[in-house]
Structure 1
Amino acid sequence: MSQTVQPTARDRRRWAQYLVNERAEARVYEALASRRDGEEKAILLALAEAEGRHEQHWLSLLGGEPQRLPQPDIRTRMLGALARRFGSIFVLALAQTAEARSPYDTEPFATPAMAADEKIHHEVVRGLAARGRRRLSGTFRAAVFGANDGLVSNLALVMGIGATGVSAQFVLFSGIAGLLAGALSMGAGEFVSVRSQRELLEATGPSDLADRAVPDLDIDANELALLYRARGLSEAEALVRAQRVLDAAHGADEARPVTGPVEVVDHELVGAAWAAAASSFLFFASGAIIPVLPWIFGLSGVAAIVLALVLVGVALMATGAAVGLLSGAPPLRRALRQLAIGFGAAAVTYVLGLVFGVSLG
């Protein structure tokens, strides 16, 4: 750290900006902590305390509280507003991105410990955000991708049908039919997928059948050891554990259940089948209705097509940004990617519709 160098006015302005940003980030973590309890609350408060230590560093360099301070940067102010109003996983995802952009690696007046703190903070916030993502993963995945599929597939459908030159009523009917067919297919498919996955996981979990059989086992045989070997223990470890359980079952020790290493069945990661199916159906339908709205309200021709593109474009960017926020990726980049994919599919079907329209005409 080069604190022996005489600071310039620009340096002091930069320190003041760091100071207000650290204060604002501490308030973000405190606001998030106020909406949580237990371990997550303690972790968030510890992060706020760490930001307070960084704040003191810049106060010390500035020689005390400056008379005038700048506003926190726009990203930190947005985080604070969201944390006070929502306290959701989206705020943690944004905070994760913000922590990854710490300037302290190249800041000569920041200590190595501060730069290291920011790297750890990024991983801590990533871990907290991952907890929320796991809780959301089942139904949220069905909801977001259901809506996106509805937007893209029905936009492509009405663009292709509309380009053939058929009547507005036929485009409307096709859009509604596409909505219902797609929503039912998505809901049914999601239900079967999630239910099958849950059944598969349940089939891999342990049962208590072995517990009831232990008292009748031959103490000199190794059937119980085979069970533990099947669950992942080495032969020596399995023999030791089996002997301990057999001794307990035959009165040498307090009885204990047959337990051993097994794959953890995390149903939170899979989600509930009916909830996932309902989310998939409703969100596909909510996405698929948007391209049809212009025709529902009586528009036709180029006006209907342009309005459908505008409405779907906004919705595609919203779903792309939401996925980007939750994954810790730049939301604008994800939003533009979703927009390009959706409009690309629509362009293909529109061109095909024009070709078929000309050939039919």
Structure 2
Amino acid sequence: MSGPNKDYDPVEVTPLKADEVERMRDEALAAVSGASDLEALKRVRLEHAGDRSPLALANREIGALPPQARKEAGQRVGQARGVIGQAIAERQAALEVEHEERMLAEETVDVSLPTTRRRRGSRHPLTLQSELIADLFVAMGYEIAEGPVVEAEWLNFDALNLGPDHPARTMQDTFWTEPADHHVVLRTQTSPVQARAMLTRNPPIYVVCPGRVFRTDEYDATHSPMFHQVEGLVVDEGITMAHLKGTLDHFASQLFGDGIDTRFRPSYFPFTEPSAEVDVRCFVCRGSGAGEGGDSCRTCRGEGWIEWGGCGVVNPRVLVSCGVDPDVYSGFAFGMGIDRSFMFRHNLEDLRPLFEGDVRFAAAFGSEI
């Protein structure tokens, strides 16, 4: 029996020759060493260690060798690829350290230096709107009157001619405090301030009362359990609806622009008689009802008027309750939502941003302090 034949004629595969493998290895190491940044090293890795690199292609040629030659060629190529991989890893670590050091040097911020980039605060837009309205009436000779938000039931209802069975007294509209026999509520309007003014001042009385009020409404785009009102009260001799109309026309023109007036629609309020709903002429379409391109005005929805508030001549019963002689004095009262007026002025469709405390909203509408 003959033994194995160790004499063979190896197939010449140029990429697998020792000198050729060394050349490819040295070329790759030089490229790795010459990579100046991480992006350049990434390109070197693809070129000399990727699937289409010279050594990777050479490795595929091992199958063309006789079995006796494959081991030696495989070790030679594998060692070369291992050296290149280690060189790439070491170079990447060094370049990452250099990159971090360069970033620290180039992007260093001296936090001890003075800066003007500090964000400044701003006053809430509803505060500014309330003060604007107050300034308008002070210029007309009115005084600003204030009162507590937690109010006696008598001042919130009885003094304003809202009898014990009036629907507004129920839990549907009013927040009552406990215990119930104390008869204390969160005020549902700023009208109790008017009652306090008549109880503590002698006519003539010219006051305006801005402030927060509370009702058990759902919180949505047009309702809130807490909102803001401004109410005005005049008690003097010879006061009529004509004085009321002139006052509200001036108020509307100062708040919404020159030429904006009001109209009255008959209505009912327990504390005024006669009473009226107040509409303000649309300050966008100026009452025409027409918008751009022939469409209806988006602000007033084509009607030319926007519902604004309520008003009327003070009911004599209210004057008597507050100690004012209705045979000598008469008066008028009105009330509008400050939040609603703000939405009109700035064309807002959702009042919730007014109460959610986003400083970006306040900065957009408020003024810096």
TM-score after normalising by structure 2: 0.21
Q: Which structure has more RCO (C-alpha within 8 Å, separation ≥ 6)?
A: 1
TM-score after normalising by structure 1: 0.21
More helix by share: 1
More strand by share: 2
